[in-house]
Structure 1
């Protein structure tokens, strides 16, 4: 079935039933984001064996993670620009190509015991970062109906974090510190073959957009993008940044997800001060990131079923994260059993990473009808900048005691920013009113 509305020329434009192909596209993007996160975090997760056999020190791993974040920050506006011009397929192909080449180059570096070659491969992997981080929000907005949109965003935006979490699991179970180099080679070879399959799948079939919009809000956004295409780069992003509610969501995204990414990227170095090795750190990191998938999925289900507003869900998740981090700090200082710290880490991850898809949706809601690529770019940049700032704090001056306190305080600040003034969900209002553009400002009363 289809529903219609008239465009500016009085012609009928159909809102079509969701296309079945959306599930194939979601699976392919999920795998690309998952592998990008897995490879990005792999040598941090196996730092014990990589330091012993490949000579990759903790400082080198931290710098590489920081470079990956910087690459995402720099590339995000360009990737978003080309997506907004209708080149989503081309950006997917380029991202998968970088992922594929990076994996094979890493394999070459591991085989030849050359750290420089490994870092080159990791840098290429980082080029897939923008698509892995905000491609899911664009895909769900364009292809999924209203009642599936938040859940689709949750699964796709968290896939990168699930990949990073699975790398911790691999470091704790599959490639422990005492293993030889052969297991690392087999692991990277598997990554290279998987990346090749992902690239092939995109080349075979991956359209840039559906034949018909999946929702009224998407149709309105398409019409708005035709107007926005006449704006300059500065005007386009300035229009989004002039929205105070969006800026609040963006800052909270950086304070939550960005700093948590930095915390996870330096987890082994952080927890080593408490006498924890690669295996325990791996279990703690894995529990946090995989707990985020559960938290994000549960929060998305609550929102999609209309049981709680996006802003309220995010506020609750940040409160849980703050309390969880507080308990984690006490546990580390008091030398609580590792099993208890793993459980607390899962709760913290469920809170912090659970906010990722919800804040993406909240940002797209409040910035509507601005292009989703502009909102996604700014969120990704804020995420990367926050992680870079975390990595840049000099350990030789400040030590490592601050590493757990920074994300704890960041969650508290985010909670305060979201707890009071309401954020308007314009996109949902548009869908409820079947395509009408509502012109109320942030200061107007909510319906």
Structure 2
């Protein structure tokens, strides 16, 4: 049996030299990683962080903001709700657009629109214009920034696939996407700093402060993102996207049973977390917990969750056990939710913070690990489509669950509030009855609700989702399988044991390495085509 030489010795020498610059862990000299990937990840992390501060910057100072803009508190609350609404509407749009405009254009669009929105919010502090115009500028700026929130979040797994090797994708997705909740935590600390002791809020300075990060992101994105991806891909998974048609991709993944289960599960987890974080103060304050303790609970839950998400991402990067890790987090989150439901009415002081921290630590990783699992299950469909539908599912369920859980609250009587030591109202909202007993004044706008039934519903939903996920979720890791096949073929090529004339090797994987569209070998397509081929 003879052998033909495809390529030449010079090409072989060049290939051998180039291999020395690759990571030792990658057997395929066609793939390499670049240090620049970390700067790109930091850039996207800061972008998600800055958009989150714009989203919820008013929540910690809602009453002060309503006085400043001469409007109601409910109107100020709609600033954050408007972001969720436009995120759902534009989520499908961005998932359709992402594969066509590329990662660089996605990040530039996000940075510039966030900065423009932040600038319009600053204009709303000009006191010489009518209140209606100021409020309109505020909402327009908020909506513009909210429109690109899903675009920035969806870019996280796309960045991981394009810039990072397979053993770093989960941590890259976590770091890029989870910067958003870090921004949420920061707003609870920063916004109150602009309120004087007499209650006056320096709104202009606060909005200027929140516009500095988007400006930095505009500068960084312009400088760092000179291309959509690196000159050479980091892995085989970063080179292939065969389903370019958006609607065909949506149809394909909705026919994927594992992905549908994943979408429902992760979407439910995101919705429950968002509703829980929104209502935690209302759940705890009737039972003697102060606003300070409730605020610390929300921050600790998020920060502990970030630590847990990073640890789980590192574990998944090493073990590739996506399904097992998700099932562990779902069951742990269900148990932690049940424990909170049973104990939250027993006043424990700051010990409740530890309980909330454990809940966040055990459950927060569901979102980033779920996004990476979606990319594995739906490969080679464009990663942005699967991630977008996960996020839209979570955002939709967040709104529905918040409305449902609020509706299940039971108004509490003044006597109940006194008996349980409620801290929902300050001492200035009290009066003394004829017997000299202090009772809280209950106005229509400050009615206190017992949300115990709501916590039961949360526990029930989380338990049902966790058990269903444990029983029915059995995914196929299509991206990992494709990368293993690519590595096997490349190894066979390097060892000169692959019979390329065999019909079973005329597949997309081999074509990606060495063949042009007609099936002929193309030495210019890859540096790895300098191989010896067996002749029958």
Q: Does 1:419 align with 2:470?
A: yes
Quickly say closer, same or farther: Cα 1:118–1:266, change in 2 above 3 A: farther
How far apart in 1 are the matches of 2:123 and 2:359? 37
How far apart in 2 are the matches of 1:152 and 1:234? 28
How far apart in 1 are the matches of 2:280 and 2:116? 27
Shift of 1:195: 1.0
Q: Does 1:123 align with 2:143?
A: yes
Larger Cα-atom Rg: 2
Shift of 1:313: 1.1
SS at structure 2 position matched to 1:420: helix
Deviations 1:249-296 (A, max 9, x none): 111111111231233234444444445554333212111111121011
SS at structure 1 position matched to 2:338: helix
How far apart in 2 are the matches of 1:25 and 1:289? 24
Quickly say closer, same or farther: Cα 1:247–1:394, change in 2 above 3 A: closer
Shift of 1:88: 2.2
Deviations 1:72-120 (A, max 9, x none): 1111222122221243222222211221122222233356475443333
How far apart in 1 are the matches of 2:229 and 2:403? 39
**1:280 maps to which residue?**
293
Q: Does 1:368 align with 2:358?
A: no
Shift of 1:184: 4.7
State which drifts further: 45-54 or 240-249: 45-54
Deviations 1:1-50 (A, max 9, x none): 559xxxxxxxxx97321122211111110001011122212222333543
Quickly say closer, same or farther: Cα 1:79–1:418, change in 2 above 3 A: same
Shift of 1:358: 0.6
How far apart in 2 are the matches of 1:175 and 1:280? 21
How far apart in 2 are the matches of 1:410 and 1:38? 30
> Is residue 32–residue 235 contact of structure 2 (8 Å, CA) maintained in 1?
no
Among candidates 83, 91, 111, match of residue 98 of structure 2: 83
> Is residue 99–residue 128 contact of structure 1 (8 Å, CA) maintained in 2?
yes
Gaps of 5+ in 1: 4-12, 440-447
How far apart in 1 are the matches of 2:174 and 2:109? 24
Residues 28-47 of structure 1 aligned to structure 2 (within 5 Å): 28-47=43-62
How far apart in 2 are the matches of 1:273 and 1:54? 30
**2:267 maps to which residue?**
254
Residues 1-20 of structure 1 aligned to structure 2 (within 5 Å): 1=18, 15-20=30-35
Residues 216-365 of structure 1 aligned to structure 2 (within 5 Å): 216-219=236-239, 221-222=240-241, 224=242, 228-229=243-244, 231=245, 233-274=246-287, 276=289, 278-306=291-319, 309-337=321-349, 339-365=350-376
Residues 139-150 of structure 1 aligned to structure 2 (within 5 Å): 139-150=159-170
SS at structure 2 position matched to 1:246: helix
How far apart in 1 are the matches of 2:295 and 2:312? 25
Quickly say closer, same or farther: Cα 1:49–1:131, change in 2 above 3 A: same
TM-score (structure 1 length as normaliser): 0.85
How far apart in 2 are the matches of 1:183 and 1:249? 45
Residues 103-118 of structure 1 aligned to structure 2 (within 5 Å): 103-110=118-125, 112=127, 114-118=134-138
* Number of equivalenced pairs: 420
Please provide the CA RMSD for this pair.
2.9
Say which structure is richer in helix: 1
SS at structure 2 position matched to 1:245: helix
Quickly say closer, same or farther: Cα 1:353–1:115, change in 2 above 3 A: farther
State which drifts further: 282-291 or 82-91: 82-91
How far apart in 2 are the matches of 1:213 and 1:107? 42
Among candidates 460, 463, 466, match of residue 409 of structure 1: 460
Deviations 1:218-259 (A, max 9, x none): 22x23x1xxx23x4x432201111001001111111111123
SS at structure 2 position matched to 1:210: coil
Quickly say closer, same or farther: Cα 1:362–1:166, change in 2 above 3 A: same
How far apart in 1 are the matches of 2:106 and 2:140? 21
TM-score (structure 2 length as normaliser): 0.71
Q: Does 1:95 align with 2:110?
A: yes
How far apart in 2 are the matches of 1:328 and 1:178? 35
**1:10 maps to which residue?**
none
> Is residue 49–residue 178 contact of structure 1 (8 Å, CA) maintained in 2?
no
